[in-house]
Structure 1
Amino acid sequence: MSDTAVNSQIETDRKTVLSVRDISVVYEVDQPVEAVKHASFDLGAGEVLGLAGESGCGKTTLAYAINRLHKPPARISSGRVVFTDRQDGDIDLLGLGDEDMRAFRWSKLSMVFQGAMNALNPVISIRAQLEDVLTTHRPGLSRADRRRRAGDALERVGVDSTRLNSFPHEFSGGMRQRVMIAMAMILEPQVMIMDEPTTALDVVVQRDILREILRLRDELGFAVIFITHDLPLLLEVSDRIAVMLQGEIVELERADRLYSHAAHPYTRKLLGSFPSLSGSRGAFIRTGIDETEEEH
């Protein structure tokens, strides 16, 4: 984190469930690119941590590093990721073997990927795709139990369980997004990473899905890392927000304080880039950016 960042809030006041320390990711191409630079944060139990920044700033790369989903030429060059499990205590995710990490994903830490509503297999029923997660991670469940849990997962995200035998093309974009969220939470993980979960959805559907996510967080107690370039959206749903710029977390602060007392110039410019709902036409929310700074 840079010296200009607010670092007083890097520690959450909740019990820490995920601790990310000094993570860097390098793409080993002709000219190596450091896409994430020494990122650090803690995620508290039941917390919604927003991760904001423009496209290409490293948000998704950081999420993939936490999940160890990178493939060459990407490489984690430094850092540590520690998950605090309710039963097993601290687990060093970067030190787990490949098989152990595969078992860990979805069970303890799940992810809703960017473009998730297009991630479903078009020729396999929703039931089969949900039950596949249960078959892999809960092999002892009976067929009836798998079907019941798949139906319950759909109901939790507001989709009728009678739609289990439907195929993805029979769902709207918003409903497919809900199915992906159901898949990510079917094993009741402690942490969910959501990478642009409402992208390409209209505003009404977007708000409905956000309400569902927050309701499920309250019901099941999981923590959320919510990734988006939409800072106003994060101000609505997040407890704290981390702002990324060129691979670095340049500011990490409570959402309410970030809105009123943003410290980093880039954060202030992000806040000043969306229009006010009141005031004269063309007016923007003022967050300490003077006219000279805005011109440049």
Structure 2
Amino acid sequence: MSEPVDEIIPDLEQVRATEGHEVATAEPVLTVRDLDVVYEVAQPVHAVKGASLTLHRGEVLGLAGESGSGKTTLAYGLNQLHRPPARITGGSVTFHGRDGEEVDVLALEGESLRAFRWSKIAMVFQGAMNSLNPVISVKAQLEDVFTTHRPQMGAAERRRRCEELLELVGVDPGRITAFAHELSGGMRQRVMIAMALALDPELMIMDEPTTALDVVVQREILQEILRLRQELGFAVVFITHDLPMLLEISDRIAVMRRGEIVELDTAENLYFAPQHPYTRRLLGSFPSLTGSTGDFLRAGYSPEETR
């Protein structure tokens, strides 16, 4: 484990330098305290246990862990997206607006919750092809955001804004009349990002936005996300099991295991000085580009320690 962080994904070596990480500030945008989520089935499953974190304005917070560790369940809890049998059983989620307003997210309901979800906290769901309606054009789906949340906008203004959003994420505005099946995987993901940006949210939650994309398109999407973050100043919660990717793009990383956040630190500290055995095991699960796969065990971490 002696190679520097930037050698893990050489293709993204210049991302931090070109996009910058100075956007993040000490001002909080979201505070989560002791959040608990339970799936109330025949044998209740405690999917998130006492999760606590503070997300700062403009920050990229990576959320890492193996499948089933509770990453998406935690993310859904940040804006009440759970459906039965999932239920939030404890804790608090507080949103800190740019205007100084503090919102108790878990107390919102009805129309107030619906308005909050898209204008303050937006989400890019995993699997863009499944998220986009296959029988409705891109234009109709983008315009639906404004029809619902900005009913005062006229048809011409809605169309203009939709074309601006597509251009913002690197999609030809001429594709506005296309359907999901007529777009590549990368373009569909960009459309989903454009939809999430429609109302200028202060926080973007991205649930594995590069899953099922080839490595070249992955790199383009990651660069696009960081460019937009730099330009628009929103914070990002980036969910993935790909820890090396998070080491490149994140300011801080939270590692989840069995519903708990077992470690939360800067990307550099997490890589060079991981504190939890599970974090060390995650790091060791990715082959080194400059050494053998046995480097991790030779570094002094026994199999017993990492279980």
Q: CA deviation at 1:285?
A: 5.3
Which residue in the other structure is 1:290 paired with? Answer: 301
Confirm whether residue 25 of structure 1 aligns to residue 65 of structure 2: no
Distance 1:103 1:295, change over 3 A: closer
Which residue in the other structure is 1:256 paired with? Answer: 268
Which residue in the other structure is 2:232 paired with? Answer: 220
Mapping 1:10-159, distance limit 5 Å: 14-87=26-99, 89-159=101-171
Gaps (5+ residues) in structure 1? 1-11
Distance 1:212 1:99, change over 3 A: same
Output the TM-score relative to the length of structure 1: 0.92
Which residue in the other structure is 2:198 paired with? Answer: 186
1:163 and 1:74 mapped to 2: Cα distance?
38
The correspondence for 1:276, drawn from 266, 288, 301, is: 288
Output the TM-score relative to the length of structure 2: 0.89
1:241 and 1:85 mapped to 2: Cα distance?
23
2:165 and 2:25 mapped to 1: Cα distance?
30
Gaps (5+ residues) in structure 2? 1-23
Q: Secondary structure at the match of 2:210?
A: coil
Q: CA deviation at 1:117?
A: 3.3
Q: CA deviation at 1:278?
A: 1.5
Distance 1:247 1:163, change over 3 A: same
Alignment check: 8 A CA contact 1:112 1:184 kept: yes
Q: CA deviation at 1:279?
A: 2.8
Q: CA deviation at 1:142?
A: 1.2
Confirm whether residue 162 of structure 1 aligns to residue 155 of structure 2: no
2:163 and 2:298 mapped to 1: Cα distance?
46
Percent sequence identity is: 66
Cα-Cα RMSD: 1.7
Letter in 1 for 2:254: A
Alignment check: 8 A CA contact 1:51 1:241 kept: yes
2:70 and 2:279 mapped to 1: Cα distance?
16
Confirm whether residue 197 of structure 1 aligns to residue 238 of structure 2: no
Q: How many residues align?
A: 284
Alignment check: 8 A CA contact 2:38 2:48 kept: yes
Which residue in the other structure is 1:4 paired with? Answer: none
1:262 and 1:210 mapped to 2: Cα distance?
24
Alignment check: 8 A CA contact 1:260 1:287 kept: no
Q: CA deviation at 1:294?
A: 7.6
Distance 1:294 1:164, change over 3 A: same
Alignment check: 8 A CA contact 1:271 1:287 kept: no
Q: Secondary structure at the match of 1:204?
A: helix
Deviations 1:146-187 (A, max 9, x none): 111111111111101111011111101111011001101111
Q: CA deviation at 1:116?
A: 2.4
Letter in 2 for 1:78: G
Q: CA deviation at 1:115?
A: 1.3
